[in-house]
Amino acid sequence: MNKERKLIIAGNWKMNKTVGEATDLIEALKRELGTQTEVDVVVCPPFTALNAVSAILKDSRIRLGAQNMSEQGYGAFTGEITAGMLRDLLVHYVILGHSERREYHKEFDVLVNAKAKAALAAGLKPIVCVGETLAQREDGQTDKIVGDQIAGSLAGLDNNQLKDMVIAYEPVWAIGTGKTASTEQAQEMHAFIRGKIAKSHGEDVAKAIRIQYGGSVKPANARELLSLPDVDGALVGGASLEVRSFTEIITNTLN
């Protein structure tokens, strides 16, 4: 697929996979995808499987991501994980502000912003998630909600930092529901986000930053979504838990 920016396709395993299951999945993915360089492939296992997956990925092109981290550097924060601990395991990316964290753990833009700064300071690339709920869309608030999430999550970050980041547009109503945004809806929102970034950080940054689509991406719809001009990748939940479906999402985009 001919794209202005290199595609980045990430699997968000969420709260799934024991170490044994993660090992089986990543060994199979490594066989299928470990040497291709056309698309950046990232897997984001739960914290408990990062070490095992990292060891398997050492000599592969697949990159490792985490699903969350603390904004704090170290210390008495029971149950939390720092950016430095993730880097220690050769983690490259970290998902921040996923809608499930926003909804169930009340993580809002100020915190997402602090986490993004801590991630970047440690050399991790944040994948910052934004997206509206169905009620917000039906109420005509989509641009306002997503615009505010972008402004709040990226506040105070400079142009160089932004170029290292990934944005994931994930309409909440499409996550895990089998409903996908139409190609028109996806392209419209991706162009809107890129336009916002052009205004805040300039055209060069807006042209360079990669914006993933997320929400029920599967082999049957991936190619169409990923061929949209402003869609530069996918954040895949359910379909990333199986070798065949995740592999097909990627191979379907290859020329």
Binding of residue 250 to ligand PGA (CB under 6 A): no
Distance, CA of 35 to chain centre? 21
- Among 81, 225, 236, 249, interactor with ligand PGA by CB under 6 A: 236
Find out whether 113 and 145 touch, Cβ atoms under 8 Å.
no
> Considering beta carbons, is residue 175 or 225 the nearer one to ligand PGA?
175
Q: With contacts defined by CB under 6 A, how many residues of the chain interact with ligand PGA? A: 13
Backbone angles phi, psi at 237, to 5 degrees: -95, -95
Interface pick for ligand PGA out of 68, 215, 226, 249 (rule CB under 6 A): 215
Residue 190 annotated as catalytic: no
Residue 226 engages ligand PGA in binding (rule: CB under 6 A): no
Which is nearer to ligand PGA, 50 or 217 (by Cβ)? 217
201 is annotated as an active-site residue = no
Q: Residue 216 interacts with ligand PGA (CB under 6 A)?
A: yes
Indicate whether 131 belongs to the interface with ligand PGA (CB under 6 A).
no
Instruction: For residue 211, give the DSSP letter.
Output: E
Token couple for 205: 């940054």
Count Cα atoms within 13 angstroms, Cβ side, for 12: 29
Contact between residue 193 and residue 167 where contact means Cβ atoms under 8 Å apart: yes
User: Would you tell me how many other CB atoms lie within 10 Å of the CB of residue 187?
Assistant: 17
What residues contact residue 45 under an 8 Å CB cut-off, 6+ apart?
13, 17, 22, 26, 53, 64
Q: Closest approach of Cβ 199 to ligand PGA, in Å? A: 26
Options 98, 100, 107, 201, the catalytic residue = 98
Q: Which stretch binds ligand PGA (CB under 6 A): 52-60, 131-139, 143-151, 237-245?
A: 237-245
CB 226 within 8 A of CB 234: yes
- Near ligand PGA by CB under 6 A: residue from 107, 132, 170, 232: 170
Between 83 and 215, CB nearer to ligand PGA = 215
| Residue 8 in contact with ligand PGA, rule: CB under 6 A | no
DSSP string, 129-169: EE---HHHHHTT-HHHHHHHHHHHHTTT--HHHHHT-EEEE
Q: Is 154 in the site for ligand PGA (CB under 6 A)?
A: no
